[in-house]
Structures are given as C-alpha cells and as structure tokens.
C-alpha cells in the first residue's frame, strides 16, 4: 500500500537524515542488489548496511526478495528516486543534532519558559 502523500515527505526526510541511507537508496535506484554488493559500492561495512536496509524496509522504502540463495533489495516506490534527484534539503527539524546542540536547545527552551513565568509573576504582583 503506498504511503499517503501528506506523510510521504515527513517519512522521507527522517529516512534521508542519514548519508548512508541516501547512498543505499541511490545505489538501489540503478538495480536490485544484495547486501555485500551495496556495501562494496558505498564502501561501508555489511553490518552497517544491514542495519540501514532493515530500517528502510521497515518504513516501506525498500523491499527484499530471496533469489539464487541471496537476499536482494530494491526500491519499493520509484518516486524516492525523483525526490533524491531534486536534491531537496532535509528540513532542520529532521536532522540529527549533536549532543551539545540538544543541550543548548533545551537550555533555550527552559529560559523561555522561565521568562514567561517571571513575566506572569510580575503581572500578579501589580494586581
């Protein structure tokens, strides 16, 4: 069953937040391949490729089939190729942040909340 259009971009952005997953999808845009073939092409360990392939398969972007004693992977929906070729940037909210940025964001959020509380307390004092 195809992904509803309103969810497609969000799912794609999250999946494509990884350079490895983007490389896998581009590799599979050429033809169906088995795990070690993909690993050799994008120069990553088979364990890494397997992890990302499982994720892509789980969200419905990739499908697999056993042939000639090997598990071949292919794109489930060709519109992902169009998306990749458009080179659309991944929105900031879907990008993985380093831990220090997460802490800074959390601190900024806490500061905004404390400022709002302080403002409300000032308003209550005036009444």
Give pLDDT tens digits for 35-83. Answer: 999 999 999 999 999 999 998 988 888 999 999 899 999 998 777 777 7
Rounded-to-integer distance, Cα 104 and Cα 125, Å: 31
For 94, other C-beta atoms within 10 Å of its C-beta total: 15
Residue 13 shares a structural domain with residue 32: yes
Residue 63 shares a structural domain with residue 106: no
* Confidence at residue 80, expressed as pLDDT on a 0 to 100 scale: 75
DSSP code, position 91: P
SS3 31: coil
The domain in which residue 103 lies consists of: 97-127
Residue 86 shares a structural domain with residue 116: no
Element (H, E) at 76: none
Residue 88 shares a structural domain with residue 101: no
Rounded-to-integer distance, Cα 32 and Cα 102, Å: 38
How many structural domains is the chain composed of?
2
| CATH number, position 48 | 1.10.10.10
- Whole-prediction pTM: 0.59
pLDDT, tens only, 74-122: 998 777 777 777 766 655 655 556 667 777 888 888 999 999 999 999 9
* Confidence at residue 7, expressed as pLDDT on a 0 to 100 scale: 66
* Confidence at residue 90, expressed as pLDDT on a 0 to 100 scale: 56
Residue 72 shares a structural domain with residue 124: no
Residue 101 shares a structural domain with residue 55: no
Give how far Cα 67 sits from Cα of 40, 71, 73, 117, Å: 19, 6, 10, 63
Residue 33 shares a structural domain with residue 82: yes
């Amino acid at each position: 069953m195809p992904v509803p259009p309103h969810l497609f971009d969000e799912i794609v952005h999250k999946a494509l937040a990884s350079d490895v997953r983007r490389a896998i999808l581009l590799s599979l845009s050429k033809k169906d391949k088995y795990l070690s073939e993909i690993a050799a092409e994008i120069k990553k360990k088979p364990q890494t490729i397997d992890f990302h392939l499982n994720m892509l398969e789980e969200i419905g972007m990739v499908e697999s089939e056993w042939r000639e004693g090997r598990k071949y992977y292919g794109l489930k929906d060709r519109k992902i190729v169009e998306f990749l070729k458009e080179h659309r940037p991944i929105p900031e909210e879907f990008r993985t942040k380093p831990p220090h940025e997460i802490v800074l964001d959390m601190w900024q959020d806490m500061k905004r909340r404390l400022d709002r509380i302080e403002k409300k307390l000032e308003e209550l004092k005036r009444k």
